[in-house]
Amino acid sequence: MNIPTLESLDVRGKQVLLRCDLNVPLKDGVITDDGRIRASLPTISYLVEQGASVVITAHLGRPKGERKPELSLAPIAIRLSELLGQSVKFSPEIVGESVLAQAQALTAGEVLLLENIRYEAAETSKDESERLVLATALASYADVFVSDGFGAVHRKHASVYDVAKLLPHAAGYLVAAEVEVLKKLTDNPERPYGVVLGGAKVSDKIGVISNLLDKVNVLAIGGGMLFTFLAAQGKEIGTSLVEVESIPTVLELLGRAKELGVDILLPTDIVVAPAFSAESPATLVSADAIPHDQMGLDIGPESAAAFASAIKSCQTVFWNGPMGVFEFAAFAAGTKTVAQALTEVPGISVVGGGDSAAAVRKLGFNDSDFGYISTGGGASLEYLEGKELPGLIALQN
Residues found near Mg ion in the complex (CB under 5 A)? 354-355
Q: How far is the CB of 226 from ligand ADP (least distance, A)?
A: 7
CB-wise, 334 or 391, nearer to ligand ADP? 334
Q: Which of 61, 109, 347, 378 is catalytic?
A: 378
Residue 378 is a catalytic residue: yes
CB-wise, 16 or 231, nearer to ligand ADP? 231
| Residue 241 partner contact from Mg ion, ligand ADP, none using kind-dependent CB cut-offs of 5 to 8 Å | ligand ADP
Q: How far is the CB of 200 from Mg ion (least distance, A)?
A: 7
Q: How far is the CB of 56 from ligand ADP (least distance, A)?
A: 23
Residue 201 is a catalytic residue: yes
Segment (H or E) for 176: helix 173-186
Segment (H or E) for 272: strand 269-273
Q: How far is the CB of 234 from ligand ADP (least distance, A)?
A: 19
152 neighbors 172 (Cβ within 8 angstroms): no
Q: Which of 300, 324, 354, 377 is catalytic?
A: 354
Q: Is 135 helix (H, G, I), strand (E, B) or coil?
A: helix
237 neighbors 231 (Cβ within 8 angstroms): yes
CB-wise, 88 or 270, nearer to ligand ADP? 270
In order of 13, 84, 256, the CA distances from 51 in angstroms are 5, 15, 55
| Residue 376 partner contact from ligand ADP, Mg ion, none using kind-dependent CB cut-offs of 5 to 8 Å | none
Q: Which amino acid is at 48?
A: V
Q: How far is the CB of 201 from Mg ion (least distance, A)?
A: 9
Nearest position to Mg ion, beta carbon: 355
Taking the C-alpha atoms of residue 365 and residue 370, their distance in angstroms, rounded to an integer, is 9
For the beta carbon of residue 76, count every other beta carbon within 10 angstroms: 25
Q: Which of 236, 264, 237 is nearest to 251 (CA)?
A: 264
Residue 29 is a catalytic residue: no
Residues 6+ apart with CB under 8 A from 238: 272, 290, 291, 292, 293, 294, 295, 296
Q: Which of 19, 36, 89, 336 is catalytic?
A: 36
Question: What residues make contact with ligand ADP under the rule CB under 6 A?
Answer: 198-201, 204, 223-224, 241, 296-297, 320-322, 324-325, 327, 353-356, 377
CB-wise, 139 or 306, nearer to ligand ADP? 306
| Residue 320 partner contact from ligand ADP, Mg ion, none using kind-dependent CB cut-offs of 5 to 8 Å | ligand ADP
CB-wise, 78 or 363, nearer to Mg ion? 363
Taking the C-alpha atoms of residue 303 and residue 284, their distance in angstroms, rounded to an integer, is 11
Residue 156 is a catalytic residue: no
Q: Which of 38, 156, 184, 201 is catalytic?
A: 201
- Sign, CA dihedral 383-389-393-396, equals negative
Q: Which amino acid is at 353?
A: G
| 232 half-sphere exposure, CB direction, 13 A CA radius | 19
Beta-ladder partners of 91: 114
Which residues are catalytically annotated?
A: 36, 201, 354, 378
